[in-house]
Amino acid sequence: MGVLPDWMIEAGVKIEPFAPQMHRPGVISYGVTSYGYDVRVDRRFKVFTNVWGSTVDPKHFDPKSFVDVEADTCLIPPNSFALAETIEYMEIPRDVLGVCVGKSTYARCGIIVNVTPLEPEWRGRVTIEISNTTPLPAKIYAGEGIAQMLFLKGVAVCKVSYADKKGKYQDQQGLTLPFVQTAPDAPPARAPGRSRKK
């Protein structure tokens, strides 16, 4: 297994739109790096709220636990988190696994990014979990870099890919909330939530 370099990422991993160089002036950087790709965060967020006092249950997730925000910046409350998605659409090759790591600019501010692995033949826009570990509100800049994707090439092609097993988050549209399938091809939880636009 090895990490794909810049030229192999550009040639072998579908990323749309693809930024061939890092964009640094005045923004948090994004685009292809030596051995990765820095993705941007879109301007739609779901910010966690505890105003309803409900239990967080991954099997029966309450959509009211989030407030919808659409803006060029998003303030995440202290010790809270938000869901967001990448601007980039990706298609992962069958012999590749995508792994996400944070960007130092945000990490040094106590803002942590979490993304589960992008499995072979997964496709879509990546849902990102952004945690504010500080006791102060944290600002996230839409349209700028949020995390770095590393692409690991397997020593052999997998027997069963994410597409083969009909993964539940395949081709997800918009911010998809957590859900557990109770029947084949069960649809993901989608809810408008409470909206706040700027």
Q: Which residues are catalytic?
A: 129
Judged by DSSP in three states, 76 sits in strand
Of 54, 25, 23, the residue nearest 39 (C-alpha): 23
* DSSP one-letter string for 98-146: EEEEE-HHHHTTTEEEE---B-TT-EEEEEEEEEE-SSS-EEEETTSEE
β partners of residue 62: none
CA distances from 33 to 19, 22, 23, 109 (A): 10, 7, 10, 22
> Binding site residues, as ranges?
103-108, 148, 162, 168, 172
Nearest to 92 by CA among 14, 32, 27, 185: 14
Residue 170 carries which side chain, given as an amino acid letter? Q
Output the known binding site for dCTP: 103-108, 148, 162, 168, 172
Question: Is-contact 67 55, C-beta < 8 A?
Answer: no
**Residue partners of 107: CB distance under 8 A and separation at least 6:** none
